[in-house]
Structure 1
Amino acid sequence: MANLNGKKALVTGGNSGIGYAAAIELKAQGADVIITGRREEAVNKAVEELGVTGMIADQGSVADIEKLAAQVADKFGKLDILFINAGVLGGAGIEGATEADFDYVMDVNFKGAFFTLSRFIPILNDGASVVFLSSNVASMNAANASIYSSSKAALNAIMKIAAVELAPRKIRVNSVSPGPTQTEILNKLGLDDASRKGLDDYMISRIPLRKIGTAEDVAKLVSFFSGESATFITGAEIVIDGGMSL
C-alpha cells in the first residue's frame, strides 16, 4: 500500500545502511525521497540505484546543515518527513578518552542531529513527522561506550522536548532505537572473517530472539511513524533489538 503518496521525505545519511533501507521503504510507500551524505561518490551511486534525489552535506557541520536546508527549501518547498539518521560509531574508556574521541561522535550524533532538526523546522509542513535514529545503548551501560551511549541518550532527550515544542503545529517527533543491525558500518570495524563471526555470535547470544536485526526492520518502523497509523504518537522511543535490552 502506498501510504505516503504525495509526501516529501528527507533521509540524512541515506546512501547506506539503515538510511538506504529507509529511502527504499519510504519510496515504496509513495513518498518523494531526498537522501544526503558526506561522500559525493557514495551519494551519487545510491541515487542511481534508488531513483531518488541526492544532496551532499556533512551532518557534523552546522554550515552544511544550513546550506542543505536552504537548498531543500528552494528546490522542493516544504517537507512532510524528516528522518535524522546520519551517525557515527566511536568512543573510548572514560579515563583514556581524548577530546578528539568525544568531538568525533558528538559533532555528528548530537550537535549535528540537533541542528538538523533546528534548521529544518521552518520548512516542515504542519502535521509532519520527524524520526531520530537513536540506539538501544541509550539506556544500557557498557564499558567503553560512554560517549556513543551519551550521544544517543541526548538524542532521546531532544526528541521528547521537540515533541512538546512542535505539538502546536501537529508535528510528531519520535525515535527508533535499534540494537545490533546488519549494516555496512559493522564491516568497517576492520575485523577478519573469524573475528566478525565471533562478534556476531556474541551479539546473538545476548538477544533473546537469537538473531541480528536488519536495516529493513528499522526502515519499516520509520515508515510507520511517518504514516497515518501513527498520527497520535509523539515523544515515543521504540526499541527494536530483539529483546536485547531486557
Structure 2
Amino acid sequence: MGKLDGKVAVITGGATGIGRAAAKRFIEEGAFVFIFGRRQDALDAAVAELGPNARAVKGSVSDEADLDRLYAAVKAERGTLDIIFANAGVGSLLPLGKLTAEHIDETFNTNVKGTIFTVQKALPLMGEGGSIILTGSSAGTTGAPAFSVYSASKAAVRNLARTWAEDLKGTGIRVNVLSPGPTATELAKA
C-alpha cells in the first residue's frame, strides 16, 4: 500500500526532468498521474515508461485554453484532483544590458502566469486533503550572473506559495514550494 493510493495528480512539465521523476515516484506510491507538456514525443516516451497509471495531455501552461483541456480530461476520466504539481518552467541566460521584452515575456508567462493559472484552474477539482506543489528554485533567493529574469520569476513563485497558503486557510488544501538547486535536467543542460 503506497502513500498515494487512490490519489489523482497533475504534473505540468511532467514529460522530462523533475516532473517525470516525480510522476514515476507518485505512481510507485499508488497515484494516477496526468502529465502535461508541450512536446508530444516526450509525452509519449514518458507514458510508455510510466505505464497504465499515467495519461498525457499536450499543451502549454501559458495557454489558458490548453489548461482548460487538461482539467476537462482530468474531470472526465477521474472526476477529482488531489495533487497539483506546478512544475513547468523555462529559463535561459541573458545578462542585464541584453534583456529583451520577448525573453521577459516567455519567462514570466510560463513561470509566473502559467503557475497561477495552473493552480487556479485546478481548484474546482480539489478538496480537503489536497496538495499544491510549486517548483521554485534556489535562484529565487540568490543572485546568479545572467539569470536575473529567471531568478525574479522564481522569487515570485515562492511568494505565490506563501500567499496562497494564507488564501486557502481553512480549506484543507496545502501549498508548498520546492526550491531545488542546480539539477541535471534538459533546462539546465541547454
Structure 1-normalised TM-score? 0.73
Does the 8 Å contact 1:90/1:104 carry over to 2? no
- Aligned 1:149-164 pairs, distance under 5 A: 149-164=151-166
Where 1:89 maps in the other structure, the secondary structure is coil
Task: Supply the RMSD in Å over aligned alpha carbons.
Answer: 1.3
Max Rg structure: 1
Q: 1:175 aligns with which of 161, 165, 177?
A: 177
- Aligned 1:15-30 pairs, distance under 5 A: 15-30=15-30
Cα drift, residue 128 of structure 1: 0.3
Q: Percent identity?
A: 39
1:30 is matched by which residue type in structure 2?
Answer: G
Could you tell me which runs of 5 or more consecutive residues in structure 1 were left unpaired when the two chains were aligned: 190-246
Structure 2-normalised TM-score? 0.94
2-side partners of 1:183 and 1:144: how far apart? 19
Q: 2:108 aligns with which of 100, 106, 109?
A: 106
Deviations 1:140-196 (A, max 9, x none): 012321100011000111111111111221100000000011223333x2xxxxxxx
Where 1:173 maps in the other structure, the secondary structure is strand
1:37 is matched by which residue type in structure 2?
Answer: G
- Aligned 1:202-217 pairs, distance under 5 A: none
- Aligned 1:130-145 pairs, distance under 5 A: 130-145=132-147
Cα drift, residue 58 of structure 1: 0.6
Does the 8 Å contact 2:127/2:172 carry over to 1? no
**Aligned twin of 2:120:** 118
Where 1:95 maps in the other structure, the secondary structure is coil
Cα drift, residue 57 of structure 1: 1.5
2-side partners of 1:56 and 1:76: how far apart? 18
Structure 1 residue 43 corresponds to structure 2 residue 43? yes
User: Are residues 174 and 36 of structure 1, via their aligned partners in 2, closer, same or farther at CA, if it must alter by over 3 Å?
Assistant: same
1:185 is matched by which residue type in structure 2?
Answer: L
Cα drift, residue 91 of structure 1: 4.3
1-side partners of 2:24 and 2:156: how far apart? 28
2-side partners of 1:174 and 1:102: how far apart? 25
1-side partners of 2:127 and 2:172: how far apart? 9
1-side partners of 2:119 and 2:13: how far apart? 14
**Aligned twin of 1:73:** 75
Deviations 1:54-83 (A, max 9, x none): 111211212211222222222221111111
**Aligned twin of 1:9:** 9
